[in-house]
Amino acid sequence: MWDIAQVNGFPDVDVKRLWSLQLFTAHSLKNKWLAPFRATALRTCEQVDEALATMDIAAMKRVTSGAFQDEQVKLIKMMLANPDVFQTIRRDVFLVAPLKICSIRAAPGFVGAEEPRIGNRLIVQVCVEYRRIQAISIYNRDNKRITREGAIALDQAPEIKPSLDYLVLEKRMWYEGPWTVRDSLRPGADYKVQSM
């Protein structure tokens, strides 16, 4: 957060003093420097969910990047290739908890000799906890709910389940582009650490 504060890189926030308690409260929902980012990140996470539910490849490409984008586009193409099985997807969200920031990191990413025309030289990655209660139901042509494997579900009532995702959002601060979801982390999984 120090690197971002030095270049006044927090969206919609004017950092007046570098030495602030805000530097040490990234996890807090009361952090004023990160409040506008949390709203932007929540919109981005909801757009990813909506793009998957509507099977919209163009929308998915606008809000994702990297291997996560490849994975999600492949999933949408698989659903579009089987229209008999995946006719419609209904997604009902009942409760969205406030987005929690788990970690934030920034590193110089712009390597040009001159300063960038807009923004700053940093590339920023933020891991957020996206928690919600939702019902996702997949229906076939006959409007019958089916399982993820394609078989007709015995119970036709939608399953309401809590959902928890840890998403890594990324922004190259020298571009006008939006924040994108770069990766999805699963609790308990073994990961190989890569540099930015």
Q: What is the DSSP letter of 128?
A: E
Any domain includes 91:
yes
User: How far is Cα 31 from Cα 167, in angstroms, rounded to an integer?
Assistant: 19
HEC assignment per residue over 75-126: HHHHHHHCCCCCCEEEEEEEEECCCEEEEEEEEECCCCCCCCCCCCCEEEEE
User: How far is Cα 48 from Cα 62, in angstroms, rounded to an integer?
Assistant: 9
CATH code of the domain covering residue 88: 3.10.450.240
Domain count, the chain: 1
Any domain includes 110:
yes
Please tell me which residue, 59 or 53, carries the higher pLDDT value.
Answer: 59
User: How far is Cα 172 from Cα 110, in angstroms, rounded to an integer?
Assistant: 8
User: How far is Cα 175 from Cα 116, in angstroms, rounded to an integer?
Assistant: 9
- Please report, in angstroms and rounded to a whole number, the separation of the first and last CA atoms in the chain: 16
Question: According to the model, what pLDDT value does residue 21 have?
Answer: 64
Q: Nearest 5°: phi and psi at 125? A: -125, 135
Any domain includes 195:
no
Domain that holds residue 178: 27-185
Any domain includes 180:
yes
Any domain includes 191:
no
Any domain includes 56:
yes
Q: Place 24 in a pLDDT band, splitting at 50, 70 and 90.
A: low
| 151: CB partners within 8 A, 6+ apart | none
CA atoms within 13 A on the CB side of 174: 15
Q: pLDDT tens digit string along 105-143?
A: 888 877 777 877 777 778 888 899 988 888 877 777 777
What pTM did the predictor assign?
A: 0.78
> What distances in angstroms separate CA 35 from CA 9, 39, 42, 77, one per listed residue?
13, 7, 11, 35
Beta bridge mates, 167: 128, 184
Q: pLDDT tens digit string along 139-191?
A: 777 777 777 677 777 776 777 888 888 999 998 888 888 999 999 887 665 55
Any domain includes 147:
yes
Q: What is the DSSP letter of 31?
A: -
Please tell me which residue, 30 or 164, carries the higher pLDDT value.
Answer: 164
What stretch of H or E contains 26? none
Query: 195 pLDDT exceeds 80?
Result: no
Task: Rounding to the nearest 10 degrees, give the CA dihedral for residues 36, 64, 24, 118.
Answer: -60
Question: According to the model, what pLDDT value does residue 61 have?
Answer: 95
Q: pLDDT tens digit string along 57-108?
A: 999 999 999 999 999 999 889 888 877 666 677 777 777 888 888 888 888 8
